[in-house]
Chains A and B, each alone.
Chain A
Amino acid sequence: MKAVVLGGTKGMGRALSRALAADGHDVWLLGRNAEDLARSVEDLKARSPSVKVGAAPCDLESPASFGPALDAADAGLGGFDTVAVTAALFGTQDQLEADAALLQRLLTVDFAHTVLFCEAVRTRLLSRGGGRLVVFSSVAGERGRKPVVLYGAAKAGLTAYCEGLDHRYRAAGLVTVCVKPGFVKTGMTAGLKAPPFAGEPEQVAVDVLRAMKRGAPVVYTPAPWALVMAIIRMLPRFVMRRVGF
C-alpha cells in the first residue's frame, strides 16, 4: 500500500501509521503542525527504515488545504492508493453544550469537512481505478445516547456517509472501511474515566490494518465493542431513555 494518514501524528493515527510502516507500506502523514509532522516522520523512519515516509500540512478546519496536501502526497508517494482519516475534534457533552462556537467547530470538522476531504480523495482514487478509504468514525454514532448527543450526531452522519459511499463505489474499485473505535486510551480521551474494554491504540491499529487488507466495510475495535454495540443497538428506546450511557 501507499497510504496517506490524515491525523497520523497522534493517537490512533500515530499507531496506524507505525503499523502500516512496520508492515512494509509507504506512509505519507498529513497534519496541522509542521514541526509535529517532522518529528513523526523521523519516528517512522527510525522504526521502519525501508519504507518511504513523508509529510505535508493539512488542516480539517481549512478545506483549501486539502488539494495541495493530496497533491504533495501523490508526488511524494508516486500516487497513493490508500487514505486513512483519523483526525477529528472531540469535546464532552458538557463542553459542547456550554460553548456554541466549539460545537460549530466540531460539527464542521468532524462531519462537513471530513466528508469534503473524503470526496476529494474519492475523485482522485476513482480516477485511477479505485483504492481504499479508511474513515475513523466512532461507536458514539451508533445510537443517540445521553453522554454523546452532539459528538455522536456528527459521527452518525459520518458513518452513514461511509456506508453510502461503500455501496455506491465498491463495484468501481473504491473500498470504504468505516472504523468504529470504542473507548481507546489516547490523548483525546485523557482525563475521562476509562470504561471496561478500554483499548490501546496499538490494538486498534492491528485491527484496522487487518480490516484494510480484507476490505471489511465496518470494523469495531477493540473487538469486544462489536458485542457491546450489538446489544446497545438492540435496546428499545424506552430503555435507552432510562440508562445513563
Chain B
Amino acid sequence: MSRPTPPTLAGWGLLERPGVECRSEDLAALTRGAVLTRGLGRSYGDSSLPPPGTLDVAGSVLADRVLAFNPETGVLRAEAGFSLNSLNRLFLHRGFFSPVTPGTSFVTLGGAVASDVHGKNHHRDGCFGEHVRALKLRVADGQIVECSPTVEPELFRATLGGMGLTGHVLEVEFQLARVPSPWIVYESERVPDVDAYVDALKAAAADWPMTVGWIDCLSRGKNLGRGILIKGRWAEAHEAPPEPPRTGPKLAIPFLFPSWALNPLSIRAFNFLYYWKHWQRRRAGLMTPDAFFYPLDGILHWNRIYGRRGFTQYQCVLPDAAGRGAARRFMDKLTALGGASFLCVIKDCGPEGTGLLSFPLKGISIAVDMALTDRTQGIVDALNAFVIAEGGRIYLSKDAFTRPEDFRRMEPRLDAFLAVRRKWDPERRIRSAQSVRLLGDGT
C-alpha cells in the first residue's frame, strides 16, 4: 500500500516543507508548547515553516479581535492574527491607516512585528516596530509576558524583526496614523537608468512621505535599470473626491501556471510593456490606497504564476557608505549572474530602527524575484558575497537560501539577538526551518 503523502506548508514562494498549520481563535491556548506561530504566510522563504522533524505550527489568523481602540489618540490593541487588510477596511473611513504597511495588506500584526515590516514611508516613519507601544508574548517557558520599550525592553527589541523566535506574539498595541482623507495624491515619472533612478528617489524623499519604484532589470547598457518612480502623499480633505474609494472585484490566479510560462522572453516582454505603458514622462493624480500600496493584492494567489517550482525574492539593503553606484553594481552583478527578475523594486531606507534584527538601514533596498532553478543557490551565494563586501544585509522574511556563515558576516547585531534569545529560550524551543538553517538550532 502506498503511504499517504505527508501534508506540507509553504511560504509565499511556494517552497514546501512537511508541516501542518493548527488554527484556533484561542491563540493563548494554541501556542502553549508550540514550536512556532505563523500568520498569513506571506514571508517568502522558510521563516514561517516548522523545523525539520516537527509538523505542527500554530496559525494565528483566527485570533483577529480588536481589543481596544481609542479614537482620540489612535492607539489600537488587537490580537496577533488581526490583519492590516482588516485594519484598513475598518479604520480608513474613520481617518486612520496603518502607520507602516508592506506591499501586501495580507499580513497579520504578529507577522508585521516578527518581520518588522517597512514600507513606502520608511525614509520618514521607519519600520512598523517604531509605532508599536506594547506586545504580549507567550515565551518559551510557557509564561505570558508583556513587553514594551520600557518593560523588558531587550525582549521587546529582539522581538521586532526577530522572526517569531523570541516568543509567540499574542497581542500588539500600536499607534495608527491619522490621515486627512482616504485618497492618495501621486506623481510618477519615467527614469532612464538606475543611477538617475536612485538620485530621483533620494531627491523625492525630502518632499514626499511615500516613495517607491520599479525598475527593469533586463535592459542592458545605458538603459540598465530604467524604471518608474512613484511618489505619494495622503490627499488633504479638500483635494479628495467626496466619495470613498471603492475596492474593485479581485482577480485570482486559479491554478499553478506551467513552469515555462515565466521565461526570460516573457519577463523581458512584461518589463518592456510595463515601462512603456508609462509613455508620458510624468503623471500625476489621485489613487486609491489599495492601488497605491497594494498593486499586487488585486490579484489573489499571484505567486502561482511561477508554477510548481516556486520562487524566491532576494532583498538586500546597501548602505549609503557603499556610494552612489552601489545599485548599479548590484544590477550589473545580477545581470552577469543571469538572474532575470519579473519584478525589481528599489526603495531608499531611513536609519536603522529599534528592532535588534530589523532589516532596513540608511541606504538603498533592492528586491528581485527569481523563479527557483538549480542555479538559485549559486546566484544567492554570489549576491550575498557582493552584499557583504558592500556592507549591506538581507531581509530574512524573503530568504530561503542564505548560508549561516554569510548571515553571520552580514549581521554584526546577531550576538546581541542571540543573547536575548538565550535568556528567554535557552533550549531554543521556539524555532523555525529558517532558524535551523541560519542559526544552527537543533532539530
**A46-B23 in contact given A186-B62, A187-B62 (Cβ < 8 Å):** no
Asked if A129 CB lies within 8 Å of chain B CBs, one says: no
Beta-carbon contact of A11 and B66 below 8 Å: no
B25's contact among A9, A42, A46, A47, by CB below 8 Å, is which?
Answer: A9
B66's contact among A36, A47, A187, by CB below 8 Å, is which?
Answer: A47
Chain A residues positioned under 8 Å from B68 (CB to CB): 42, 46
In the assembled complex, the Cα of A46 lies from the Cα of B68 at a distance in Å of 7
In the assembled complex, the Cα of A47 lies from the Cα of B76 at a distance in Å of 11
In the assembled complex, the Cα of A191 lies from the Cα of B30 at a distance in Å of 13
Q: Which of A9, A11, A185, A190 has the most CB of B within 10 A?
A: A190
Chain B residues positioned under 8 Å from A46 (CB to CB): 66-69, 76, 90
Which B39-86 residues have C-beta < 8 A from chain A?
59, 62, 65-69, 71, 76
Beta-carbon contact of B67 and A190 below 8 Å: no
Chain A residues positioned under 8 Å from B59 (CB to CB): 190
Chain A residues positioned under 8 Å from B25 (CB to CB): 9-11, 14, 187
- A68 CB to nearest B CB, Å: 25
Chain B residues positioned under 8 Å from A191 (CB to CB): 20, 22
Asked if B8 CB lies within 8 Å of chain A CBs, one says: no
Beta-carbon contact of A39 and B62 below 8 Å: no
Asked if A176 CB lies within 8 Å of chain B CBs, one says: no
Chain B residues positioned under 8 Å from A185 (CB to CB): 23
What is the total number of residues of chain B having a CB less than 8 Å from a CB of chain A?
A: 16
- A191 CB to nearest B CB, Å: 6
Beta-carbon contact of B67 and A43 below 8 Å: yes
In the assembled complex, the Cα of A101 lies from the Cα of B78 at a distance in Å of 37
- B370 CB to nearest A CB, Å: 30
**A47-B62 in contact given A9-B25, A39-B67 (Cβ < 8 Å):** no
Asked if B24 CB lies within 8 Å of chain A CBs, one says: yes
Which B364-391 residues have C-beta < 8 A from chain A?
none
Instruction: Give 8 nearest A-B pairs by CB, closest first.
Output: A43-B65, A46-B66, A46-B69, A190-B23, A187-B24, A10-B25, A43-B66, A187-B25
Q: Apart from A42-B65, A191-B20, what are 12 other A-B pairs with CB-CB below 8 Å?
A: A10-B25, A11-B25, A39-B65, A42-B66, A42-B68, A43-B67, A46-B68, A46-B90, A185-B23, A187-B62, A190-B22, A191-B22
